[in-house]
């Protein structure tokens, strides 16, 4: 029973393509997040949704568009992919307010743009 699941786990694509990453959580959490982890392991927040409403939108190119059809799902669509978008993207969830235990993370999607 995976708590936070992301698909696909690996994604290799060419520059200029459009791709999507899907995330689902079965923890009953109200808040979901997208984080980007670069090659130096630095995790940086991109977006956060609370009950389908966008509440955090960090300085991210508008080629990245999150969508939350319901509070258990948060998808990330990326247009016109660039080499610099190569990274591991993590989805996470938490109760509203963040929770005592912080976030529960998915296992990540490794995106490679060639």
User: Which CB sits closer to another protein, 4 or 11?
Assistant: 4
- The span from the CA of 22 to the CA of 33, in Å, is 12
User: Which CB sits closer to another protein, 20 or 96?
Assistant: 96
The CB-of-83 to another protein minimum distance in angstroms stands at 22
User: Contact 32/90 with Cβ under 8 angstroms?
Assistant: no
- Among residues 34, 37, 4, 7, the alpha carbon closest in space to that of 20 is found at 7
Judged by the rule CB under 8 A, the positions of this chain that interact with another protein are 4, 31, 40-45, 48, 50, 55-56, 90, 92, 94, 96-98, 100-108
């Amino acid at each position: 029973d995976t708590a936070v699941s992301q698909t696909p786990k690996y994604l290799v694509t060419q520059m200029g393509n459009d791709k999507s990453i899907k995330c689902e959580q079965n923890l009953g959490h109200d808040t979901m997040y997208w984080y980007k982890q670069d090659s130096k392991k630095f995790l940086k927040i991109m977006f956060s949704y609370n009950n389908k409403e966008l509440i955090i939108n960090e300085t991210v190119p508008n080629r990245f568009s999150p969508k939350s059809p319901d509070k258990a799902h948060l998808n990330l669509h990326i247009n016109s992919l660039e080499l610099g978008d190569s990274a591991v993207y993590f989805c996470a969830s938490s109760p509203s307010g963040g929770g005592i235990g912080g976030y529960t993370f998915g296992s990540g999607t490794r995106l490679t743009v060639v």
